[in-house]
């Protein structure tokens, strides 16, 4: 019997369009003889679109409005064997959809409520990984109320880290709302931007040298495996939104030209982080590598990484011999497996 799969895409985050293009690739790649796939696009307002509008959204690359309240759609989602929530960022990758699917009793691809929620929040991730002994940059948390009530205390935290530093909304992706702050005169603008997008903001120190950026894929549930390591290279000052989504701005090197010993540390660290965060199914784990000192710092864990045919995560597994189609099939199998 064919498995019935519900593929969710779009959603309310800034990564709506990225998600729809990932979904197009996955839809084409799930073998028709094994799976009966129904795509449902979620609009930018969070409404679930009926089939015709979903098809239009997949073609045009955006679903701006229309659709049903989520609860109506979940009721009609009964009868699916599994859901592939191919959603990035808040209201999709952060445990909210995962909670809804858990309540509905439908198995789904990827991490559960806990792993999704903790991995989405850059501060919670850092706290959990610190307790697992995984090296990371120095950081400080600030909440919006402090920024409004006592901005000096927030500025003092930045001064402790020194400049340049990074200011980021705690719960976003795709570099949205992230600033590299070169000195105190740039700090307030960066904090205002980040607090406009999130209640919680993380301030992060930078390493002394511009780090190299390494990424590795993890696949599995309680016995996960790591892919070869990849490297991103780009000319811009950091891997910002434009660099991520403008064709030709970044180069991907797989395998990363690094010593075997460093690649092993990346893979080991990624698996350790995956377990510590209680991730499942898949994750892309990103590191900073400071060549001058040999230092390897874990930057973040993405529980639903970009998933087009040319995205880093599928490319990493392709390099180890697992093609795109086999990879998405494996992910659905993992969703149906006992953990
Ligand atoms: P997102 O979840 O939006 O991808 P990241 O934390 O990965 O956010 O930051 C985006 C990019 O900003 C990174 O890929 C890197 O280029 C740069 N960056 C972020 N934090 C630091 C840091 N502490 N030191 C150096 N570069 C950083
Ligand atoms: Mg991220
Ligand atoms: Mg990132």
Section 299-311 average pLDDT:
95
Look at residue 156 and tell me if it is in a domain: yes
Section 50-62 average pLDDT:
91
Section 54-69 average pLDDT:
89
Cα of 286 from ligand 2 centre, angstroms? 9
Cα of 72 from ligand 2 centre, angstroms? 31
What proportions of the chain, in percent to the nearest 5, are helix, strand and coil?
40, 25, 35
Ligand 1 near 178 CB (within 6 A): yes
pLDDT of residue 120: 97
- Least confident residue range of 23-32, 207-216, 266-275, 293-302: 207-216
Query: Which residue's CA is the closest to the ligand 1 atom numbered 8?
Result: 175
Task: Give me the CATH number covering residue 237.
Answer: 3.30.470.20
The DSSP element (H or E) to which 181 belongs, if any, is strand 179-181
Confidence of residue 82 (pLDDT cuts 50, 70, 90): very high
Q: Does ipTM top 0.90?
A: yes
Q: pLDDT at residue 76 above 80?
A: no
DSSP 8-class letter at 129: H
Ligand 1 near 239 CB (within 6 A): yes
pLDDT of residue 64: 85
Look at residue 114 and tell me if it is in a domain: no
Look at residue 29 and tell me if it is in a domain: yes
Domain enclosing residue 249, as ranges: 119-135+210-336
Q: Check whether residue 217 and residue 329 sit in a common domain.
A: yes
Confidence of residue 75 (pLDDT cuts 50, 70, 90): low
DSSP 8-class letter at 199: S
Section 169-186 average pLDDT:
94
Q: How does DSSP assign 253-319, residue by residue?
A: ESS-SS-HHHHHHHHHHHHHHHHHTT--EEEEEEEEEETTTTEEEEEEEESS---STTSHHHHHHHT
Q: Check whether residue 172 and residue 242 sit in a common domain.
A: no
Shortest-distance ligand to the CA of residue 299: 1
Cα of 226 from ligand 3 centre, angstroms? 18
pLDDT of residue 57: 93
Ligand 1 near 121 CB (within 6 A): no
To test the pocket of ligand 1, the residue of 240, 299, 300 to mutate (highest count of ligand atoms within 8 Å of its CB) is 299
Task: Give me the CATH number covering residue 102.
Answer: 3.40.50.20
């Amino acid at each position: 019997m064919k498995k019935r799969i519900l593929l969710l895409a779009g959603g309310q985050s800034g990564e709506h369009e990225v998600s729809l293009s990932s979904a197009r690739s996955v839809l084409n790649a799930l073998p028709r003889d094994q799976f009966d796939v129904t795509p449902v696009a979620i609009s930018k307002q969070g409404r679930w679109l009926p089939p015709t509008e979903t098809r239009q959204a997949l073609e045009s690359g955006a679903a701006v409005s229309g659709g049903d309240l989520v609860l109506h759609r979940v009721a009609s989602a009964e009868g699916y064997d599994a859901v592939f929530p191919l959603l990035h960022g808040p209201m999709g990758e952060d445990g909210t959809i995962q909670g809804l699917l858990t309540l509905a009793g439908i198995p789904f691809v990827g991490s559960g409520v806990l792993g999704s929620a903790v991995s989405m929040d850059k501060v919670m991730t850092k706290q959990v990984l610190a307790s697992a002994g995984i090296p990371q940059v120095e950081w400080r948390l600030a909440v919006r109320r402090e920024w409004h009530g006592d901005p000096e205390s927030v500025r003092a935290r930045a001064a402790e880290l020194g400049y340049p530093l990074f200011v980021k909304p705690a719960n976003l992706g795709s570099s949205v709302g992230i600033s590299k702050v070169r000195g105190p005169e740039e700090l307030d603008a960066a904090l205002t931007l980040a607090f406009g997008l999130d209640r919680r903001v993380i301030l992060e120190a930078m390493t002394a040298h511009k780090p190299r950026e390494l990424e590795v894929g993890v696949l599995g549930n309680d016995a996960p495996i790591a892919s070869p390591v990849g490297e991103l290279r780009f000319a811009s000052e950091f891997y910002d939104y434009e660099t991520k989504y403008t064709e030709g701005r970044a180069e991907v090197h797989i395998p990363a030209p690094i010593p075997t010993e460093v690649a092993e540390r990346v893979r080991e660290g990624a698996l350790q982080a995956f377990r510590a965060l209680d991730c499942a199914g898949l994750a892309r784990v990103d590191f900073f590598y400071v060549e001058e000192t040999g230092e390897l710092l874990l930057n973040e864990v993405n529980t639903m990484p970009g998933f087009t045919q040319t995205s880093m995560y599928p490319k990493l597994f392709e390099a180890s011999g697992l093609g795109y189609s086999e990879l998405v099939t494996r992910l659905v199998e993992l969703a149906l497996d006992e953990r």
